């Protein structure tokens, strides 16, 4: 008999159906991957199993766990199962832990509740658990607060909490999405190891099919709330039957960028670029200043893409902001064509700003909710082309919409009416309407689903070829960098680790850190999708 058996599970809200009669079965010791893009209903399924859906959700169907029906189970009975026999790990380890309590206390909670351990006993067991999930110096970490831990450590703490009462089933909802690639690889290895050692069944929820190949025996593919395909992992990867599964498998950005034309002029250059932030203190303390970027040199030619790769805190965003002069703490030399930008004040920079435009990661946060999409796109023209009438600006906005392949008629809508990928297109349109020569793209595809990413990558390549744009492309995602960048610069702790032609660096990384990044990214072989 299956340990977890889901039959006809549906979740509906006033706005529509989030999950439509899902059937799943998961046996003891088995890993099932639930795969789908955002909005496919995969998290809804996990939350429904755990009884964690918001009050507004209407749930129907059946979820049987080891013979007990969980849907409609009264709270006290449910609370004897969740946390005790089913553990759950959430996506965002920062926001999933309580910031006000030491992690040791939080790990002890389920032990006190389900096992009736005293505080001291629970603490001793929490110490074992932290060691089990590979946290170094566990004794001292017990009394640390979540904000004092790194992202990877927090996720290990989450896993320790979920495993505290030795559950039979672990549900991991995008457990590595918020983490750096090398940390991601460590957490996946830990989950695989724990699963083998403890005989866990694992329901592994992800949008990233590449992770699935190494983790799961079986795969279930969701799209728009419906199960579209399920089967053994090998078979799905070798012979996907549904168009949805084929699409997900082919979603890695492919192809290469055209080489930079010979003799293309250098449009932007930097020498000895450094950024250092004053110490950020708590209420009672002042920390020492932090050097975010140290002594970076670079030159960007028209039509060239320099990929900047590194993990969080490596200084890659500081580099991007320093280059477009949005980083007041930057020192060093930045030249645009023949002008030294570091000598210009705000007023002197303003007429030049249209030539170097930034595009940021978060397509939700970087668009003003009070303006229409067309107004957002045309806003820069007010400053940089003050002679244009409102009608002319609107015409240019419509043109920019067409360039990023959005329907120009949609420009009158507010930003929230667009999907994540469409919003990123709006952000790109806002930059290119000014006819820049350099665009700094800071993780423009990171918040997007793989299939949407693929389209944005194609769009960026196309715009570059048409307008001879130079890109500084900042990303932690080597698959995207491979598809877009001529050269790649690897940063760590604000310093250059390695630099070279993209294909060469990815095929034969010289430095250990680059090798770790490349290994963790698990890129599909060249020429294959």
Partner 1 sequence: MTDAVIPFVLRRLVQAVPTLFLVVTLSFVLVRLAPGGPFDLERPLAPSAMENLRRVYGLDQPLPVQYARYLGALLTGDLGPSFSVRDLSVAELLGRGLPVSMTLGALALLAALVLGAGLGGLAAAAKGRPLDHAVTALRTVALTVPGFVVAPLLQIAFGLSLRWLPVGGWEGGAPAHLVLPVVTLALPQAAAIAQLTRNALLEVLATQPMRTLRALGLPRRVIALHALRGAALPVISYLGPTAAGLLTGSVVVETIFGLPGIGRAFVDGALNRDYTLVMGTVVLVAVFVVAFNLLVDLAYALVDPRVRHA
The CA-to-CA distance between both ends of the chain, in Å, stands at 38
Decide: is 92 part of the binding site for partner 1 (CB under 8 A).
Answer: yes
Q: How far apart are the C-alpha atoms of 338 and 185, rounded to whole Å?
A: 44
Q: Which is nearer to partner 1, 90 or 355 (CB)?
A: 90
**Tokens 């399920």 -> residue:** 230
Q: Around 242, how many Cα atoms within 13 Å sit in the side-chain half-sphere?
A: 16
User: Using CB under 8 A, which residues numbered 490 to 519 contact partner 1?
Assistant: none
Stretch that binds partner 1, among 89-97, 192-200, 213-221, 489-497 (CB under 8 A): 89-97
Site for partner 1 in 107-146 (CB under 8 A): 109-110, 113-114, 145
Here's the x/- map for partner 1, 4-43, by CB under 8 A: it reads as ----------------------------------------
Q: What is the DSSP letter of 421?
A: H
User: Of the listed pieces 64-72, 99-107, 369-377, 409-417, which binds partner 1 according to CB under 8 A?
Assistant: 99-107
Contact set for partner 1, span 141-160 (CB under 8 A): 145, 147-148, 158
Q: Which x/- pattern over 251-290 shows residues binding partner 1 (rule: CB under 8 A)?
A: ----------------------------xxxxxxxxx---
How many residues sit in the footprint of partner 1 (CB under 8 A)?
A: 42
Among 96, 188, 275, 432, binds partner 1 (CB under 8 A): 96
**Residue whose C-alpha is closest to residue 310's, from 176, 180, 417:** 180
**Least CB distance to partner 1 at residue 473 (A):** 32
With CB under 8 A as the contact rule, the residue among 100, 120, 238, 347 that binds partner 1 is 100
What would the two tokens of residue 75 be?
A: 């709270």
Q: Which is nearer to partner 1, 287 or 383 (CB)?
A: 287
CB of residue 92 to partner 1, shortest distance in Å: 7
Give the contact letters, 391-430, x = binds to partner 1 (CB under 8 A), - = no.
Answer: ----------------------------------------
Count of helices and strands (H, E) across the chain: 20, 20
Percent of the chain as helix, strand, coil, to the nearest 5? 40, 25, 35
Q: How many CB atoms lie within 10 A of CB 118?
A: 11
Indicate the angle between helix axes 119-132 and 151-163, nearest 10 degrees: 120
Q: Among 48, 63, 97, 187, which residue sits at the site for partner 1 (rule: CB under 8 A)? A: 97
Return the bridge partners of 120, or none.
none
* Rounded least distance, CB 51 to partner 1, Å: 8
Backbone dihedral region of 43: left (phi > 0), alpha (psi from -120 to 50 degrees) or beta? alpha
What letter would DSSP give residue 226?
Answer: E
Q: Which residues in 155-183 are b (16+ Cβ under 10 Å) and which e?
A: bbbbbbbbbbbebbbbbbbbbbebbbbbb
3-state SS, residue 141: helix
| CA R_g for the chain | 25
For partner 1, the binding residues (CB under 8 A) are 50-52, 75, 78-84, 87-88, 90, 92, 95-102, 109-110, 113-114, 145, 147-148, 158, 161-162, 279-287
């Amino acid at each position: 008999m299956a340990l977890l058996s889901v039959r006809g599970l549906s979740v509906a809200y006033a706005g529509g159906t989030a999950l439509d009669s899902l059937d799943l079965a998961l046996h003891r010791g088995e890993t099932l991957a639930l795969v789908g893009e955002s909005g496919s209903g995969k998290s809804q399924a996990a939350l429904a199993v755990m009884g964690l859906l918001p009050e507004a959700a209407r749930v129907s169907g059946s979820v049987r766990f080891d013979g007990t029906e969980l849907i409609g189970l009264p709270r006290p009975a449910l609370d004897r199962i969740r946390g005790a026999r089913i553990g759950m790990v959430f996506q965002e380890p920062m926001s999933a832990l309580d910031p006000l309590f030491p992690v040791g206390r939080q790990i002890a909670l389920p032990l006190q509740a389900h096992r009736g351990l005293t505080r001291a006993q629970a603490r001793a067991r929490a110490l074992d658990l932290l060691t089990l999930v590979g946290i170094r110096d566990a004794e001292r970490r017990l009394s640390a607060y979540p904000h004092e831990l790194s992202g990877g450590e927090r996720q290990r703490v989450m896993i320790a909490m979920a495993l505290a009462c030795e559950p039979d089933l672990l549900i991991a909802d995008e457990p590595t999405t918020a983490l750096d690639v090398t940390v991601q690889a460590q957490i996946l290895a830990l989950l695989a190891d724990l699963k083998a050692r403890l005989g866990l069944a694992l329901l592994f929820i992800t949008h990233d099919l590449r992770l699935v190949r190494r983790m799961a025996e079986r795969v279930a593919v969701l799209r728009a709330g419906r199960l579209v395909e399920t089967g053994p992992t090998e078979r799905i990867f070798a012979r996907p039957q549904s168009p949805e599964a084929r699409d997900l498998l082919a979603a890695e950005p492919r192809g290469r960028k055209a080489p930079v034309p010979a003799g293309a002029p250098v449009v932007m250059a930097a020498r000895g670029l450094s950024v250092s932030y004053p110490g950020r203190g708590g209420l009672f303390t002042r920390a020492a200043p932090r050097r975010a970027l140290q002594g970076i040199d670079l030159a960007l030619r028209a039509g060239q893409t320099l990929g900047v790769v590194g993990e969080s805190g490596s200084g890659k965003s500081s580099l991007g902001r320093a280059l477009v002069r949005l980083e007041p703490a930057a020192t060093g030399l930045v030249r645009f064509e023949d002008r030294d930008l570091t000598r210009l004040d705000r007023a002197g920079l303003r007429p030049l700003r249209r030539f170097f435009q930034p595009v940021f990661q978060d397509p939700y946060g970087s668009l003003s909710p009070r303006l229409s999409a067309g107004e957002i796109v045309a806003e820069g023209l007010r400053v940089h082309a003050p002679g244009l009438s409102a009608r002319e600006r609107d015409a240019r906005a419509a043109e920019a919409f067409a360039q990023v392949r959005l329907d120009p008629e949609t420009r009158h809508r507010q930003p929230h009416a667009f999907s994540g990928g469409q919003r990123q297109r709006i952000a790109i349109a806002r930059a290119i309407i000014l006819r820049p020569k350099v665009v700094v793209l800071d993780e423009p595809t990171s918040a997007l689903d793989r299939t949407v990413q693929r389209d944005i990558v194609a769009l960026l390549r196309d715009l570059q070829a048409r307008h001879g744009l130079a890109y500084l492309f900042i990303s932690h995602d080597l698959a995207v960098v491979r598809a877009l960048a001529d050269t790649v610069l690897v940063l760590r702790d604000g310093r250059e680790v390695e630099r070279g032609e993209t294909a060469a660096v990815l095929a034969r990384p010289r430095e250990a850190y680059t090798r770790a990044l490349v290994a963790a990214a698990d890129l599909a072989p060249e020429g294959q999708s």
